[in-house]
Structure 1
Amino acid sequence: MPSALITGASRGLGAAIAQEIESTHHILLGGRDAAALHPLVDHLPDAEPWVADLTDFDAVTAAAESIDELSVLVHNAGRATIGRVDSTPLSEWKTMFDLNLFAAVHLTQQLLPALRKAGGHVVFINSGAGLRVNEQWSAYAASKFALKAFADGLRVEEPGLRVTSIFPGRIDTDMQRSIVACEGQEYDPDRFLKPATVARAVGHAIRTPEDAHPTDVILRPFNK
């Protein structure tokens, strides 16, 4: 059975992606907290934890050594905080770039031999903020614009791999609740995409027949 590594898999969208593709893949559930991964490991018949703090590059390098062949790599882990340019400290910009961009670059570099061996598929969970910038979203959007550039470059340089960027609108997750609280608004989950909906789009991209290359998928909430 082909294998898939999903980062940020302990909850939210990452957990939903794992459940979406678990019938066709052996799942490596990526996360920095082993205890947080165990409920999903126990729920899925063919899954195991892959524990590493993605911003600890030495730890990631060591953890990647155990992966000899990999069919799918889903970069889902990320961080989003909002604030104006004049009030967002440089340290917060760095924190977001470290996880949203540099961690994805480093993990991809470490797993390229395993992905090449499988003729694999790399999926980047980007954001609508990776295509446009709204007020107070400059730092996060900058990290996601950069992630898109990395994905586009990887696609050009690795013709033996499929590389897909998913650009969802805002998703009903714990992170979204924190963002809405910062915006001073009341949380209404019906305003946002369901994690299972975005996970299904990821699954469709992965299951696309091999004669096609799904490069960019854009999803927006459909608020009737």
Structure 2
Amino acid sequence: MATHLITGAGSGIGAAVARRLHERGDDLLLFARDAGRARELASGFPGARTLVGDLAQPDRLSWALAQQSVPDRIDSLLHIAGVVDLGPIGELTPKTWHSQLNVNLVAPAELTRLLLPQLRISHGQVIFVNSGAGLSASAQWGAYAASKHGLKALADALRQEEKPNGVRVTSVYPGRTASPMQAKVHQQEGKEYDASRWIDPESVATALLAALDLPRDAQIDDVTVRPGR
């Protein structure tokens, strides 16, 4: 039975992925920002374990994991959590930049660093849920896109570095997906939110699981998922 560590399992794509892996009997290790959130996640996925750490404070992740029991082997590390805060470059404060860079880029880099020994043992896989904004930046999306462009660079470098260790690395680039994050984006854009217009999180989960389950004689480096209507 494979063990998967998932960030962002509370909603959207992360919840869809966690549900699919849970239903097929895999072992889940769900990352939560605090003890209360950990209890919520554990109640939604009976039998799953949790780890507590604040992705907004990546400098403290090493200490947080040192206080908890981390498995000796992890088969996949799924970076799905993310935050977004739109605004023109001329108005973005350092706080806005740091908040998105920390959660979307620095925390995934740090969690990966801390868990590479477990992933190397299993010849496992790291999957980064990126964004279309990680490939092309638009007005108002500067800070978020910068964090996601950085995430692409992180994945590309990690892929080359860890290939000799048998660790696969995949980036998934979803277009707009029906989720609480997308509802927030529409609110910031001043637009009405209609979830039916956007990708179902289950569809992104299907693409992610295809990369995860691919036989070991091949790997998917990058996969882009776009709305079909």
Q: Does 1:102 align with 2:115?
A: no
1:113 shift after superposition: 0.4
What does the per-residue CA deviation read over 1:80-116, in whole Å, with 9 as the maximum and x for residues that have no partner? 1111111111221111111111001100000010000
Structure 2: give runs of 5+ residues left out of the alignment. none
Q: 1:158, 1:164 → 2: CA distance?
A: 12
In structure 2, relative to structure 1, the CA distance for the partners of 1:69 and 1:63 (3 Å cut) is farther
**C-alpha deviation, 1:217, in angstroms:** 0.7
Q: How far does the alpha carbon of each residue in 1:42-99 deviate from its partner, in whole angstroms, 9 at most, with x for none? A: 3434412222112334642244452311100001111111111111112211111111
1:144-173 per-residue CA deviation (whole Å, 9 max, x = no partner) reads 001000000000000111000000001111
Residues 10 and 37 in structure 1, CA contact (< 8 A), matched pair in contact too: no
Report the Cα distance in structure 1 between the residues aligned to 2:204 and 2:32, rounded to whole angstroms: 20
Task: Name the stretch that deviates more: 181-190 or 41-50.
Answer: 41-50
Work out the number of aligned pairs and report it. Answer: 223
TM-score (norm 2): 0.92
CA RMSD of aligned residues (A): 1.5
Aligned to 2:162: 158
Question: 1:13 deviation in Å?
Answer: 1.6
The alpha-carbon deviation at position 190 of structure 1 amounts to 1.5
Stretch of structure 1 that moved more, 148-157 or 130-139: 130-139
The aligned residue for residue 140 of structure 1 is 144
1:172 counterpart letter in structure 2: A
- How far has the Cα of 1:39 moved from its partner? 4.4
| Cα separation, 2, equivalents of 1:201 and 1:68 | 28
SS at match of 1:4: strand
Q: C-alpha separation between the residues in 1 aligned to 2:93 and 2:63?
A: 32
Look up the equivalent residue of 2:7 and give its one-letter code. Answer: T
Q: Structure 1 unaligned runs (5+)?
A: none
Aligned residue for 2:3? 3
Work out the CA distance in 2 between the residues paired with 1:63 and 1:203.
29
8 A Cα contact 1:10 1:30, kept in partner: no
Please state whether the residue corresponding to 2:74 is helix, strand or coil. coil
**Mapped pair 1:55 → 2:56:** yes
Would you say 1:172 and 2:178 are equivalent positions?
Answer: yes
Q: Is it true that 1:113 corresponds to 2:117 in the alignment?
A: yes
Contact 1:34 1:49 in 2 (8 A): no
Separation of aligned partners in 1, 2:74 and 2:42: 19
Structure 1 window deviating more from structure 2 (214-223 vs 20-29): it is 20-29
Query: In the TM superposition, what is the alpha-carbon distance from 1:40 to its structure 2 partner?
Result: 4.2
Offset at 1:15?
Answer: 1.3
- C-alpha separation in 2, matches of 1:14 and 1:140: 19
- Superposed CA deviations along residues 160-212 of structure 1, whole A, max 9, x for unmatched, are 11000000001111111111011111111112111111111111111111111
CA pair 82-57 structure 1, distance change in 2 beyond 3 A: closer
Q: Which residue of 2 aligns with 1:19?
A: 19
1:208 paired to 2:214: yes
Distance in 2 between the 1:156 and 1:167 partners? 19
Deviates more, 1:47-56 or 1:159-168: 47-56
Structure 1 Cα separation of the partners of residues 190 and 103 of structure 2: 26
Equivalent position amino acid for 1:204 in 2: A
Q: Secondary structure at the match of 2:89?
A: coil
In the alignment, what sits opposite 2:197?
191
The one-letter amino acid of 1:83's match is: G
